[in-house]
A = this chain, B = another copy of it.
């Protein structure tokens, strides 16, 4: 019998009525013959309310935090098991410590190291649906652990691997991955398929369908993910899997953007081995998230200009870090600029098609958009531009690469 893992996010189980709808979705897959394990998040709002209460207390204990938060998924898993029984489907809930889902690492940010599948497989022998509380596991000390926000997606992907499932369907409040942000561009198209790598580039660019860590976990375990809407379950949504052949001819499959970027340039930096490591380590220990990095060497002198981007909220602290480094590194001055956006085109087919970058730069130029910084990977080209021109850039790129005609 083939196995499916279905995951329902917080908005998909936000009320008892929605939990009953989820049960109907499960019933349909169940009756088509699959053995099914379900992973649930806490009902939307629950986790935030628990955190509010925790924050009223001025002490921190990550183990207690985990025990408190894990109660949310515990409730949903029980309610969904009851809702399945209501429609005559054999089902039972499983908590992290019961399977168990064994984790390693620190509380609040634990990593799943193993999911014991025996209990679930035994249940399948009786056609029992396993309803697994997401986000939680049990640590080597026997205490409840959690695996960070968005962790239920990771639970689902890991479980799909542990059960060797045919697919992991992630039910959420959007019906798939789009060519770009539907709030910005009218004639967006939903992508039937994207590759893992494309998804990672899109996710890190702001297409908040799936956490990057979940996609990385899917790559590692080779789990096919189907992103689907619980409000439109007949729609198959978007399949995220290994390189998808029929997208190869389509060089560009998505346009992503992130606003409120800032650019920092260190001018006249005396370049020595290890100098970049010193700078970026110093930024990293302050938890400053550096994104694009560009370096222009002046051949004739032993000096360089080093440019990097950070979220505008980290700009002030970034400049402070560089000021403090003045005693150990030599440079002429630091200049910075905010009100910038990063716009990216993404596509696995880009590898095999020359001229994509030229076409992108030409399009931006024709729209009078100046490019501040360029950064590229195998399947992505990103540019830093004036934030005021974000929408024009995204719309024109979406059109020039014919994403509305997919």
Contact = CB atoms under 8 A, between A and B. Distances in A.
Contact of A68 (B54, B56, B78): B78
B56 A67 contact: no
Contacts of A202: none
A104 to B, nearest CB: 19
B67 A78 contact: yes
A59 B71 contact: no
A143 interface: yes
A86 interface: yes
A18 to B, nearest CB: 11
A280 interface: no
Interface string A311-349: 000000000000000000000000000000000000000
A65 B78 contact: yes
Contact of A59 (B70, B75, B86): B86
A56 B98 contact: no
Nearest to A98: B142
Contact of A58 (B63, B86, B92): B86
A63 B93 CA distance: 9
Given A16-B56, A57-B16, A59-B85, A50 B64 contact: no
B63 A20 contact: no
Given A82-B54, A143-B98, A68 B61 contact: no
B58 A68 contact: no
A53 interface: yes
A71 B144 CA distance: 13
A93 B69 CA distance: 13
Contacts of A97: 97
Nearest to A17: B56
A77 interface: yes
Nearest to A85: B59
Interface string A87-104: 000001101011000000
Contact of A75 (B50, B58, B77, B81): B50
Contacts of A85: 59-61, 64
Interface of A: 16-17, 19-20, 50, 53-54, 56-61, 63-65, 67-68, 70-72, 74-75, 77-79, 81-83, 85-86, 92-93, 95, 97-98, 142-144
